[in-house]
């Protein structure tokens, strides 16, 4: 059943309908954050009830009046009977002491063993604090080494925020973790498994680049792009709840339309958010994808026919970073595109209007991250409709940020990861993604972590916990 305000259907191209209530994407800062649950690890020591040894009073024997009693034997100056009682009491105390010692020893040993096996570590289990979902805290050990990330978001007609994080699981399956502000919990789903049950096998290449976007106007769609054997670009689409197998399907790209990317190519995909006016309902923005060809050029294809556009950029080094973002210009229906790629070691920007028919050279944004087939792609995304953030991973595994504030690009700077319970200390990153909800996701030490920033201080990142990656069966 489709959600209120969404137009159902399985066309790969959206149909224009009125969706005034779906805009804008920007959500007030006071919306709920991912739920945070605090855990305590109980350490139990073995214990036992302490029996109390109770002595009995001894009264001196009364002296007989007629027959005198024989003098009682003494040991160490004490009466024989007293010594016997004292020895018995000491024996009982010794037995109790031995029992307590053995019990405590076993208890401490058991507690220490459980601490070593179950204590959270950066490489095994999540930190006990700031974990968004109590049911899926074991977020490690299900990421393919070298997995890339993609992140999208939207706000549904009821005002609830939805976050999607796409990655490649340890078994190389395409996987998504999703969160919403209504339930405030994460759920992790294998898209590969859901589609395989319908006869569609995805088979992404190991460490495939992943690109994705979610769009509401005129209909809800989430589209995901990745590489399969032979570097063929493939597209999958869901038009409703992505947790339902029946809602995922193969798109045109990768079935009736084929595009082959160059070795080590990164991917970027975007459909800009548009307003709710008539212009956006009938002339909604194009969907486009950027990739690198065999000759090193950066190519751009629109989703109306998926043919590479005549305008090409580069050539660039194999494995060069690629990014797409959009901003609102003069009014809500005037959308401007930005394409970023590595041009001779500089991250160069090119700009275009709504329909992508003409491109002009923009500004240089500073040094480009190191190119290569194993290097992570940049995360480029807009927020608050008019600002852009680009996050990249430098060769040392540290993050670098540059922002566009409607007037100019900032210098390349590291973000301030505000210390917080559960946050990784001195993390080294292997992949990064971001979305217009001002959330940044990064893989550090085999775990996906999440941060949030605010518009007035885009370099101050607050930790929002781990993203679970373990698929619940």
For residue 255, give every residue at least 6 positions away whose Cβ sits within 8 Å of its Cβ, in sequence order, or none: none
Q: Write out the two tokens for 214.
A: 């979610």
What pLDDT shows up at residue 336?
85
CA distances from 433 to 129, 314, 361, 455 (A): 23, 24, 25, 17
Q: Residue 226 pairs with which residues in a beta bridge?
A: 234
Whether this prediction's pTM lies above 0.75 is answered by: no
What pLDDT shows up at residue 307?
87
What pLDDT shows up at residue 305?
87
Choose between 291 and 273: higher pLDDT: 291
CA distances from 308 to 97, 231, 257, 289, 380 (A): 84, 16, 12, 9, 22
- Start-to-end CA distance of the chain, whole Å, equals 23
Q: Residue 79 pairs with which residues in a beta bridge?
A: 74
d(C-alpha 472, C-alpha 193), whole Å? 12
Q: Write out the two tokens for 418.
A: 């505000």
pLDDT tens digits, one per residue of 310-357: 888 989 999 999 999 988 876 666 778 999 999 999 999 999 887 777
Location of structure tokens 């690890």: 41
pLDDT at 112 over 80: no
pLDDT tens digits, one per residue of 395-416: 999 999 999 998 899 999 999 9
Dihedral angle sign, alpha carbons of residues 116, 119, 122, 124: positive
Task: For the chain, give the number of residues.
Answer: 473
Find, among 286, 346, 271, the residue nearest to 313 by Cα: 346
pLDDT tens digits, one per residue of 284-306: 677 899 999 989 999 999 988 89
27: number of Cβ within 10 Å: 17
How confident is the model over 453-458, as a mean pLDDT? 95
pLDDT tens digits, one per residue of 182-219: 999 999 999 999 999 888 999 999 999 999 999 877 67
In the sheet where 379-383 sits, what is the strand order? 379-383, 387-393, 399-404
15: number of Cβ within 10 Å: 9
CA distances from 86 to 54, 55, 56, 454 (A): 12, 9, 11, 76
For residue 112, give every residue at least 6 positions away whose Cβ sits within 8 Å of its Cβ, in sequence order, or none: none
Location of structure tokens 């005129």: 218
Location of structure tokens 């009491």: 89
240: number of Cβ within 10 Å: 20
Rg (CA), the chain: 33
For residue 142, give every residue at least 6 positions away whose Cβ sits within 8 Å of its Cβ, in sequence order, or none: 169, 170, 175, 469, 470, 471
Find, among 325, 340, 228, 333, the residue nearest to 278 by Cα: 333
């Amino acid at each position: 059943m489709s959600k209120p305000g969404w137009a159902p259907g399985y066309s790969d191209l959206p149909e224009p309908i009125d969706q005034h209530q779906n805009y804008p994407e920007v959500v007030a800062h006071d919306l709920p954050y991912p739920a945070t649950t605090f855990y305590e690890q109980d350490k139990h020591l073995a214990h036992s009830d302490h029996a109390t040894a109770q002595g009995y009073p001894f009264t001196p024997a009364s002296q007989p009046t007629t027959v005198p009693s024989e003098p009682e034997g003494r040991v160490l100056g004490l009466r024989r009977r007293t010594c016997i009682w004292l020895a018995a009491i000491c024996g009982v105390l010794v037995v109790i002491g031995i029992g307590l010692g053995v019990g405590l020893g076993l208890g401490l040993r058991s507690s220490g063993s459980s601490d070593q096996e179950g204590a959270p570590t950066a490489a095994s289990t999540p930190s006990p604090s700031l974990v968004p979902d109590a049911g899926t805290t074991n977020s490690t050990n299900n990421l393919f080494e070298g997995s890339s990330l993609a992140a999208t978001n939207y706000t549904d007609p009821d005002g609830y925020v939805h976050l999607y994080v796409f990655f490649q699981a340890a078994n190389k399956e395409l996987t998504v973790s999703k969160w919403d502000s209504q339930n405030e919990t994460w759920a992790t789903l294998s898209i590969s498994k859901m589609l395989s049950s319908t006869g569609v096998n995805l088979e992404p290449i190991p460490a495939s680049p992943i690109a994705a976007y979610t769009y509401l106007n005129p209909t809800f769609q989430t589209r995901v792009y990745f590489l399969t054997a032979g570097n063929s670009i493939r597209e999958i689409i869901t038009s409703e709840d992505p947790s339902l197998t029946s809602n995922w399907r193969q798109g045109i790209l990768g079935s009736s339309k084929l595009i082959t990317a160059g070795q080590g190519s990164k991917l970027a995909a975007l459909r800009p958010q548009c307003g709710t006016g008539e212009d956006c309902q009938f002339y909604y923005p194009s969907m486009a994808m950027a990739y690198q060809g065999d000759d090193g050029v950066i190519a751009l294809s629109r989703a109306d026919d998926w043919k590479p556009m005549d305008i090409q950029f580069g050539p660039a080094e194999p494995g060069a970073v690629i990014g797409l973002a959009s901003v609102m210009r003069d009014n809500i229906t005037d959308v401007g595109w930005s394409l970023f790629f590595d041009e001779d070691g500089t991250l160069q920007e090119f700009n275009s209007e709504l329909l992508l028919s003409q491109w002009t050279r923009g500004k240089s944004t500073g040094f480009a991250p190191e190119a290569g087939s194993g290097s992570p792609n940049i995360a480029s995304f807009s927020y608050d409709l008019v600002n852009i953030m680009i996050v990249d991973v430098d060769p040392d595994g540290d993050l670098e940020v540059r922002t566009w504030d409607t007037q100019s690009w900032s210098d390349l700077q590291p973000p301030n990861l505000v210390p917080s319970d559960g946050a990784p200390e001195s993390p080294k990153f292997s992949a990064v993604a971001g979305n217009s909800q001002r959330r940044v996701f990064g893989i550090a030490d085999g775990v996906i972590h999440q941060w949030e920033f605010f518009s007035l201080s885009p370099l101050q990142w607050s930790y929002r916990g781990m993203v679970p990656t373990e698929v619940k069966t």
